[in-house]
Structure 1
Amino acid sequence: MMKKLSLTYRLLKKIGFNYSEEEYGQVSIWQVIRKVLKTYKDAFLLKFVMNSWLLSPLLPRKIRPAVLKSIGCKVGKDVFVGDHVKIDSGHADLIVLEDHVHITGGCRLLCHQRDLSDYCVGDDSAKLGYKLAAIHLKKGCLIGMESMILPGVTVGEGAIVGAGSLVTKDIPDWTIATGRPAKVVKQIPIRER
């Protein structure tokens, strides 16, 4: 039996917004307008302010963390954000950066991905829903260049993620993890006095 589509859904589809109800549930025109306006504002900040050569002396420790905070991330004190860091701006509210977090250049933080848990042969991958989950970078952790953090990951206090890593699972406090997928390769020792 064919499910009857809502008037709003049909109108959105007609003007070019392809929001499947399986993915997004009931969507109103007002929600789409608000989302589009927020997306434009956030895109402007991310594109023209995050990597402005004019502001370069202030970017990593002042401006980039302030931009992330303004689009919805929870950002602590003395956070460092390198150049060309990309975040999941549509779900910025799911990103937590505690004090002294260091994210180096080219990293990507993603809070959503397709839900493949019930994906089978013959299914249409474009109609799969999304799995949303928070990213939590704890106090003093360091994310190496060009690393990617996937949804639901917590990087522990003082942990270091090696350059180019793909972090799919939590990284414990005070460890070094590297690889694709990232695995713990070393426990950081306690300094003897």
Structure 2
Amino acid sequence: MSEKQLSPTFRLLRAVGMNYSEEEYGDVSLARAAGRFFGNLYHALLVSMMDWWILEPVNPRLLRPRLLRGLGCRVGKGVFVGDHVRIDLNHADRIRIEDHVHIAAGCRLLCHQRDLRDYYVGGDYARLGYRYGEIRLCRGCLIGMESFVLPGVTVGEGAIVGAGSLVTKDIPAWTIATGRPAAVVKHIPEKP
């Protein structure tokens, strides 16, 4: 679609640096853009509270799980959330964290990414649509420090994801996975 064919709202949003895809978002109104802006301010406040150092004694097990619920995540009991953990704010409702999950510091949980299936030489990356997926962290799993979990991934019960991993596919229960992309390196044995 040429710039002349875009609605006045789209032209205004593009003029201020917001490159919305009309195919993806439909006819975006100023009211919708303003609503998203103020909603994001609320989310920004909740996200900033996750790292307030004065609350550090209660942050990992009490405050951060509650703040994630406030952002839209489904969070179970006894969840540990380390500092500087970031989630996909606009799609937090796609994140399910079951009981006794540990998410170490600096992790990222991403529920959307650009869909590159229709990207070719000469294409415009900014006009590509997105691929969405839910993230499910099953009971008692651990996501190691500075790891990324991508859309559509389930980390099985009791699984351990090593530090710095990029989780692009499901991780089976009771395994240890590490790497970029994460791959299973060990199966956790049953207690004799």
Please give the TM-score of this superposition, normalised by the length of structure 1. 0.93
The answer to whether the 8 Å contact 1:106/1:145 transfers is: yes
Distance (whole Å) between structure 2 residues aligned to residue 66 and residue 175 of structure 1: 28
Q: Percent identity?
A: 63
Distance (whole Å) between structure 2 residues aligned to residue 15 and residue 86 of structure 1: 26
Equivalent residue, structure 2, for 1:22: 23
Equivalent residue, structure 1, for 2:34: 33
Equivalent residue, structure 1, for 2:10: 9
Equivalent residue, structure 1, for 2:152: 152
Distance (whole Å) between structure 1 residues aligned to residue 18 and residue 144 of structure 2: 37
Distance (whole Å) between structure 1 residues aligned to residue 162 and residue 12 of structure 2: 47
Q: Give the superposition deviation at 1:43.
A: 0.9
Note closer, same or farther for the CA distance 1:12–1:143 as it changes in structure 2 (3 Å cut): same
The answer to whether the 8 Å contact 2:19/2:126 transfers is: no
Distance (whole Å) between structure 1 residues aligned to residue 68 and residue 18 of structure 2: 27
Distance (whole Å) between structure 2 residues aligned to residue 123 and residue 17 of structure 1: 19
Q: Does 1:58 align with 2:58?
A: yes
The answer to whether the 8 Å contact 1:171/1:184 transfers is: yes
Query: What CA RMSD, in Å, does the superposition of the two structures yield over aligned residues?
Result: 1.6
The answer to whether the 8 Å contact 1:22/1:128 transfers is: no
Aligned amino acid, residue 38 of structure 1: G
Q: Does 1:73 align with 2:67?
A: no
Distance (whole Å) between structure 2 residues aligned to residue 139 and residue 133 of structure 1: 19
Q: Give the superposition deviation at 1:15.
A: 5.0
Q: Give the superposition deviation at 1:33.
A: 1.6
The answer to whether the 8 Å contact 2:84/2:107 transfers is: yes
Q: Give the superposition deviation at 1:38.
A: 1.1
Deviations 1:141-162 (CA, angstroms, capped at 9, x unpaired): 1000011101111101111000
The answer to whether the 8 Å contact 1:140/1:158 transfers is: yes
Aligned length: 191
Unaligned runs of 5+ in 2: none
Equivalent residue, structure 1, for 2:103: 103
Equivalent residue, structure 2, for 1:130: 130
Does 11-20 or 109-118 show the bigger shift?
Answer: 11-20
Please give the TM-score of this superposition, normalised by the length of structure 2. 0.93
SS at match of 1:117: helix
Note closer, same or farther for the CA distance 1:156–1:124 as it changes in structure 2 (3 Å cut): same
Q: Give the superposition deviation at 1:11.
A: 4.0
Distance (whole Å) between structure 2 residues aligned to residue 108 and residue 141 of structure 1: 15
Q: Does 1:190 align with 2:190?
A: yes
Unaligned runs of 5+ in 1: none
Distance (whole Å) between structure 1 residues aligned to residue 44 and residue 187 of structure 2: 39
The answer to whether the 8 Å contact 1:145/1:164 transfers is: yes
Note closer, same or farther for the CA distance 1:84–1:130 as it changes in structure 2 (3 Å cut): same
Equivalent residue, structure 2, for 1:87: 87
Does 122-131 or 155-164 show the bigger shift?
Answer: 122-131
